[in-house]
Amino acid sequence: MKNNFLPKEFVSGNELCFFIHDLLANTLVSGEKQDIFKYEFSLEEKIANNLENDEDIFLFLQENKLDEHRNKVLKTIILPAVLSDILHCIYEALISSKKGKLNISYMLIRKPIQESLYLLESMIIDEIEFGKCMSENPLKLRPSNAGGIEGHKKRINIVIDKLGLSNLFSASYLANLRYNKRCEDNFDGICNHAMHLFTEHDAIKTDKLNINFIFSDYDSKLTQWAYLYSRLPYVLLYLYYVVEYLMKEICPTEKWYIEEMELRIFAHFILLLENLDEAYYSDELLKIIKFATNKLNDFCTNVLKKPFDKLIIENIANNGISDYKDTK
C-alpha cells in the first residue's frame, strides 16, 4: 500500500481490526446478496384491504396497532444501514492510521463507538421501546439520554448479559472507554481533541499555547497508534458480538462458521499482545488474551493433538482451520 507509515509493532493490531471489520462486511454483503434484510408477514384481510399502495407502511402499522411487525421491519431496515455506516468509518479510520493521519482516525471512530453502537445496543435492550422511539421521537436514542456514565454502564451490562459474555467483557470499562472524559483511559477525550482545535471541558481542556492534535510530532503519533491498537480491538470485538446477536433473529449464522471465525479473532488477539508495549496493557485486554489463549490451547490439544505454538496461531489467524480439518 502506498503511503504506509504504520510502524511494524502496530501491524498486528491493524490486521486484527481489519479482520473484524471484514467479518462484519462479509455478514452485510452476503446478507444483502441473499436478500435476508426483509421482514415478511401476513395481515388479516380486513386490515390488509385498508392498506393503500402509496401509504406510509410505518404509519399504517402504527395506526393498526401492529407494533410487533413495525419493530421487526425497523430492525431489518436499520441494522444493515447502520452497520454499513459503521464499517465505512472504521475502514477509513484504519486506512488513515496506516498513512499516519491519526487525527482523522480518531475523528472517524467517534460516531461508530459512541452513537452507532449505542443504537444497536438499544435494539437489543428493548426492541419495543426502540420501535416506539423511532416512530415517535428518534432523539431519545441519542447517547446523551443514557443517564450519564452510570446509565451507560447499566445499559451495556444488560447487553452483555443478553450476549452471555459477562465473563469476557466489562460494562464499566466499555462505558468509560467510550464516554467518560474524566476517566484516564478513554476514547472520548482523544476523539474530541481530534475533532476540535480547542476544547474547554475541564477534563480535556486545551493547554495554553497549544492546538489539539495540530502539533503532534512522531513521538506523539507513536502514542496515538499504541492507544488506538490497544483499545479499539476490544470495542470492535464487542461490536462483532452485538451484530451477531442481532443477526440471529434475521438469519442465524452457521455454528461452525462462528466457531472458526472466533478462533481466528482470538488468534489475532494473541499476536496483538506480542507486539504491544506493556505500558498499554489493561486488565480488560489481558482478560481477552487469557480467554483467547485458553480457547486456542484447547483447540490445539483436543483437535490438532499438537502443542500450542506461534506458527499454528499465525496460520489460524491468517488462513483459518481448513488446513487442520483432516486432523479432527
Reported as a single tens digit per residue, the pLDDT across 34-77 is: 888 876 555 554 454 454 544 455 565 565 555 565 667 778 88
**C-alpha–C-alpha distance, residues 25 and 84, integer Å:** 8
Helix runs in 146-197, H state only: 148-163, 171-179, 187-195
DSSP 114: I
Closest among 238, 246, 253 to 78, alpha carbons compared: 246
Output the tens digit of pLDDT for each of the chain's 328 residues. Answer: 567 899 999 999 999 999 999 999 999 999 888 888 876 555 554 454 454 544 455 565 565 555 565 667 778 888 999 999 999 999 999 999 999 999 999 999 999 999 999 999 999 999 889 988 988 899 999 999 999 999 999 999 999 999 999 999 999 999 999 999 999 999 999 998 889 888 888 778 878 767 778 888 889 999 999 999 999 999 999 999 999 999 988 887 889 999 999 999 999 999 999 999 999 999 999 999 999 999 999 999 999 998 889 999 999 999 998 776 554 4
55: left (phi over 0), alpha (psi -120 to 50) or beta: beta
| Predicted local distance difference test score (pLDDT) of residue 242 | 98
| Predicted local distance difference test score (pLDDT) of residue 54 | 43
| Predicted local distance difference test score (pLDDT) of residue 325 | 59
Q: In 3-state terms, the chain is what percent helix, strand and coil (to 5)? A: 75, 0, 25
Angle of helix 67-98 versus helix 102-111 axis, rounded to 10: 170
pTM of the model: 0.91
Q: Is the dihedral of CA 34, 35, 36, 42 positive or negative?
A: negative
Closest among 158, 70, 143 to 112, alpha carbons compared: 143
| Predicted local distance difference test score (pLDDT) of residue 45 | 47
| Predicted local distance difference test score (pLDDT) of residue 46 | 43
Closest among 178, 173, 164, 181 to 284, alpha carbons compared: 173
Which residues are within 8 A (CB) of 20 and not within 5 positions of it... i.e. 6 or more apart?
233, 236, 237, 239, 240, 265
